[in-house]
């Protein structure tokens, strides 16, 4: 899973690192604060509902979700790329007005 640590003093001290509810392969997630609401947006490879064939080797699907409680829970999960043979990783998040821009690296059979 993704591991989290929290700071309440602008990064001077941190809570102990602990696993989150975001199940994933060995692949980094990206998290950004939504400017308009202050909620968190995460992009990651959600492995909460994948079989062993994917869990043990692939970075798919690419999923987004929102947290309204500083990352304790996540809602409105949505797979935005879900090719079972795909690789979606090294994500980036940027906001422009009311839109979010996502970048990522992709690979898989469709990209060979």
- pTM given for the model: 0.86
pLDDT of residue 51: 77
Q: In what order do the strands lie in the sheet with 62-67?
A: 30-33, 40-45, 62-67, 75-81
pLDDT at 1 over 70: yes
pLDDT of residue 66: 98
Radius of gyration, alpha carbons of the chain: 15
Sign of the Cα torsion 67, 71, 72, 74 reads: positive
- Going by pLDDT thresholds of 50, 70 and 90, the confidence category of residue 43 is very high
**108 closest CA partner among 54, 67, 70, 72:** 54
Least confident of 24-33, 44-53, 87-96, 102-111: 102-111
């Amino acid at each position: 899973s993704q591991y989290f640590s929290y700071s309440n003093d602008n990064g001077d001290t941190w809570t102990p690192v602990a696993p989150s509810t975001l199940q994933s392969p060995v692949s980094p997630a990206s998290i950004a604060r939504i400017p308009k609401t202050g909620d968190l947006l995460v992009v990651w490879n959600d492995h909460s509902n994948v079989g062993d064939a994917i869990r043990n080797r692939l970075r798919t699907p690419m999923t987004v979700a929102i947290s309204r409680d500083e990352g304790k829970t996540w809602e409105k999960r949505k797979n935005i790329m879900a090719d079972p043979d795909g690789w979606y990783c090294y994500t980036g998040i940027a906001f422009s007005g009311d839109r979010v821009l996502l970048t990522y690296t992709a690979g898989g059979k469709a990209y060979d």
